[in-house]
Amino acid sequence: MEDPKGDMERHQPPPSLWPVGFAVGIVCLLVGLVVSWPAAAIGAGLAAVFGFLWARDVVGGRAAEVPLSADEEPSLVPPLPEQPGERFPRNTFLEGATLGLGAVIGAVVTLPVLGFAVLPAFKGQHQHEVDLGPIGDFPEGQFIVATFLRDPSLGDITRRTAYIRNNGLLNGVPSFTCISNRCAHVGCPVQPGGPVFDDKQKTVKTANGDVSLTPVLPAAGFICPCHGGSYDQEGSRIAGPPVRGLDRYEFLIRDGHLVLGNLYSVAKVTGSGANAKITKAELHGPGQHVDGPEAWLYPLQPPH
């Protein structure tokens, strides 16, 4: 009795989960580019593994042999003799060529887009050093509001403010506290919780251009006027919505001048002044936790 479904069904490949796994890997890759680089790496790995398995099944042409049931009779037509040398059938070649061409087209379309979208975050992330002038302009134990240009070549768009305190000597080396005025909530400029002595302001000319130095007495620490975030004199969070303390600047003393370096985030400050123990973290944006389980919910930061 002739099989009503025809002979073609016997040579169809069996159902496979490889395309599903490949699609899941692509989704994880695209979501990971926004959320987390480890998720993107996992997605790329899944897509590569399942894509290889899928392509192997297609190119290999593996087909499940459907056994004859008891009521089926073998065909009375003798099989055609196998053509010599036909090891790679034309339909298999066309399938492989189609997949390969699709992969090439996908790469040509996708890679430039990913390059323009992702690579700029990894280029030119270094921060310029800032010369704030002679350390003699920073009296010991007093806070100074320093306003400067981070990159003079770009103009006022790089104007920044830092709160600088000379802590005296630590093991014979000058010690400074250099706190950023960017609130750790949404980035508003924090204000000193005390008087600002504008009448004693002076301007120092340095390699970075004019630097404004104004004495200040932040008796109540620092306060954000936008949403009520409050910090002590070490920049540690006291109250309000900020998720961590204020960022700090690295510093060095060069030829008797105070030079600010890279910004970094602070997870914890123990002690004060020259004896403060600072738990540093990679620079994070406002509103982002730097430690604890909450930090796992944020994407990795590009290199700085």
- The CA distance from 144 to 196, in Å, is 9
Per-range mean pLDDT, top range of 19-33, 65-79, 91-105, 157-171 = 157-171
Q: Which two tokens stand for residue 204?
A: 């120092």
22 and 106 Cβ atoms separated by less than 8 Å: no
pLDDT tens per residue across span 174-202:
999 999 999 999 999 999 999 999 999 99
pLDDT tens per residue across span 25-83:
888 888 777 677 777 888 888 888 888 888 887 776 544 444 555 555 555 556 666 55
CA 103 from centre of chain: 28
21 and 29 Cβ atoms separated by less than 8 Å: no
Topology of the domain covering 130-297: Rieske Iron-sulfur Protein (2.102.10)
Q: Which two tokens stand for residue 98?
A: 């189609």
Residue 249: its pLDDT value, please?
Answer: 96
Cα dihedral 255, 258, 263, 267, rounded to 10, equals 120
This prediction has a pTM of 0.64
Q: Where do the domains of the chain lie?
A: 8-122, 130-297
pLDDT tens per residue across span 220-266:
999 999 999 999 999 999 999 999 999 999 999 999 999 999 999 99
pLDDT tens per residue across span 260-276:
999 999 999 999 999 99
pLDDT at 301 over 70: no
CA 208 from centre of chain: 29
Average pLDDT, the chain: 83
Residue 82: its pLDDT value, please?
Answer: 59
